[in-house]
Chain A
Amino acid sequence: NAGVMQNPRHLVRRRGQEARLRCSPMKGHSHVYWYRQLPEEGLKFMVYLQKENIIDESGMPKERFSAEFPKEGPSILRIQQVVRGDSAAYFCASSPPAVNSGNTIYFGEGSWLTVV
């Protein structure tokens, strides 16, 4: 049973380019989460989605960042016009519904974005 799959694992972009990070959840999981990790800052929640619906995007920067989880295919985190400060590790996680019931979220291996 495959885990959460993220790709690419490493991505280098020049300032002003677009970055697209993809995440395929575990089989049977309907909810996807994106987190950003900067050195010494822990994991910051960005967005929580289910298929075709954004449930909570309170952690997403107001500009340049967007996320989707279409009916078919992986979830995508899109960063437009990247800047050096976007360099970070981006982690995707998935879960069955209702984390408030104690369901665990399972993480992918992460995508490391470097903006040069």
Chain B
Amino acid sequence: AQSVTQLGSHVSVSEGALVLLRCNYSSSVPPYLFWYVQYPNQGLQLLLKYTSAATLVKGINGFEAEFKKSETSFHLTKPSAHMSDAAEYFCAVSEGGKIIFGKGTRLHILP
């Protein structure tokens, strides 16, 4: 079964600093990978997805993620954090027609 592991349930960064949220996947075949963001009391919104077209994937709100097969990683980054980025972020992988989510990383932005 495919799965994703998110390292760090909580991450704090200062406003303007680099954001790095880690995700590792386990898959025996090239996976489809996703990052979603969830703001309080709302549903999930797609940030970006990897579908093997390019290893560096650009998403909305200045986020991007790089697929590294050698490291089985799909880390999410943003060069400069903004207060509005405070939310929970979920890495996910497709399996058998459904999407399996990691446990999430809550991002805190420090003023």
Contact = CB atoms under 8 A, between A and B. Distances in A.
B42 A109 contact: yes
Interface in A24-66: 31, 33, 35, 40-43, 45, 48, 55-56
Contact of B104 (A42, A55, A99): A42
Nearest to B1: A58
12 contacts: A4-B43, A40-B103, A45-B98, A45-B101, A48-B97, A99-B98, A102-B51, A104-B49, A107-B36, A107-B45, A110-B41, A110-B42
Interface residues of A, number: 27
Contacts, number: 62
A105 interface: yes
A110 B42 CA distance: 7
B46 A98 contact: no
Interface of B: 9, 32, 34, 36, 41-46, 49, 51, 90, 94, 96-104
A35 B100 CA distance: 10
Given A43-B90, A43-B101, A102 B32 contact: yes
